[in-house]
Structure 1
């Protein structure tokens, strides 16, 4: 799949609507009980980019971006303003926000993840598109320096340490991230007259698996 390492204009995605989607298969048994299963290990996010448009300049920017991606052909980065940081809202990003793994004396590569915790349940979301310049890493609570102690593959969400952490040493990180998405349509249907009257086009965007 072709993917362009470019972010959809963040000021346009700010007014969008969307969020995570799950797929659950439910079978109702003859006794009234249910059996529930999901074929998806991870959620998938959907958005409507049209709702962030505020003027004809925004519309022109959207169309240019859409044409440069060839509609659904090429993926791109998307900033989900409701969920784009490793830390909770109102708290600065810290190198100890998320646990990436534990050292074993040999492993040097750790993928970025974000944990969603509610009661006894935890969901670990793989982060594939880190935002360069925002990532902080620590091992056993000691901050590391990018370029000296580790390298970041921002387009893969991967941390590559210069030295393998000692057995039991916890590797943590804090970061901002984007969602890898594509347009979920090959057509933008808009009327300038209707747009000026307050009607915005539907521009669906869907997360892609990498």
Structure 2
């Protein structure tokens, strides 16, 4: 059994310990302080160290996430649940939220969406055709507007971020392009599988504030700001991310899937963390049917190929 502690590496001697696999049936990983502090980067490193030192395969690991010591700390259940989901995604044999008295005390309920997540397929490939400036880009919101008899309006924004629609049909320039498009459409199974799209009008960011140091957190989500609105960036272009802490550039970081920057060390309290990056937009075909006619294409009529942005975070 290995618990999450910053003394982990000092307690486990270099090389394989006597209790390394296959000495026991199961390795039980207890992850408490890092989880409740939101330090998921240290949790991931601890798991990697435990595997490297002890060698238990993931299907012979149990993961214990938690716990919430006091009722006034109930907000930590969200962090505990997220850590448990990460462990399940790794494929551990059993995952436990620790412990039952605290779960009952705070009335915590977990809704299992594993089956729903399984159909959220995404192919990490770029749309194969250059869009050019003929492509149509249409960001949109969902706003409910109630108009009174006197003409006054009450407006309720259902979305905090815009969702962008595209028509990439005008970018088709040859019959060869049509062939590439049809093959790509078939490979994505129509609207079933998402992919990357390089938006020709909005594809990079410079000096974006992604967080402020608190002395503990090392993991920060990439965002792009549009005035007071922020857009979560989940598909940065590989090799394009740069980071600065307190205005000083650093290379002591890594980039995790989903658009997360993980610093090697926690920034000091109050130190701004900024990032620059290029990014792609996760999209899917808007329809399960694609119609491209050779005759109309040769006549100069642009095909309609609608895409819609996929919200990943």
Rounded to whole Å, the distance in 2 between the matches of 1:73 and 1:201 is: 21
Match of 1:103 among 196, 213, 218: 213
Give the Å deviation of 1:24: 1.1
* Contact kept? 1:10, 1:79, Cα under 8 Å: no
With a CA cutoff of 8 Å and minimum separation of 6, indicate the structure with the bigger relative contact order: 1
Q: Which runs of 4+ in 1 moved over 3 A?
A: 12-15
| TM-score computed with the length of structure 2 as normaliser | 0.60
| Structure whose residues are more often helix by fraction | 2
* Contact kept? 2:129, 2:177, Cα under 8 Å: no
CA RMSD of aligned residues (A): 1.2
Aligned position for 1:162: 264
Mark the runs of 5 or more structure 1 residues left unpaired by the alignment: 88-96
Rounded to whole Å, the distance in 2 between the matches of 1:190 and 1:100 is: 42
Structure with greater Cα Rg: 2
Match of 1:56 among 175, 194, 202: 175
Does structure 1 residue 205 correspond to structure 2 residue 311? no
Aligned position for 1:24: 143
Match of 1:115 among 195, 203, 225: 225
Aligned position for 2:281: 179
* Contact kept? 2:131, 2:200, Cα under 8 Å: no
1:92-149 Cα deviation digits (max 9, x unpaired): xxxxx100110000001000001112xxxx111111110011111010111111xxx1
Give the Å deviation of 1:23: 1.2
Does structure 1 residue 124 correspond to structure 2 residue 220? no
Give the Å deviation of 1:10: 4.8
Rounded to whole Å, the distance in 1 between the matches of 2:249 and 2:129 is: 30
| TM-score computed with the length of structure 1 as normaliser | 0.88
Match of 1:39 among 137, 141, 158: 158
Is the partner of 1:163 in helix, strand or coil?
A: coil
Give the Å deviation of 1:196: 0.7
Is the partner of 2:146 in helix, strand or coil?
A: strand
Aligned position for 1:77: 196
Rounded to whole Å, the distance in 2 between the matches of 1:55 and 1:201 is: 12
Is the partner of 2:205 in helix, strand or coil?
A: coil
Rounded to whole Å, the distance in 2 between the matches of 1:69 and 1:55 is: 21
* Contact kept? 1:48, 1:205, Cα under 8 Å: yes
Rounded to whole Å, the distance in 2 between the matches of 1:76 and 1:164 is: 33
Mark the runs of 5 or more structure 2 residues left unpaired by the alignment: 1-119
Rounded to whole Å, the distance in 2 between the matches of 1:196 and 1:52 is: 14
1:11-50 Cα deviation digits (max 9, x unpaired): 1465311131111111111221100011111110000111
Rounded to whole Å, the distance in 2 between the matches of 1:12 and 1:172 is: 30
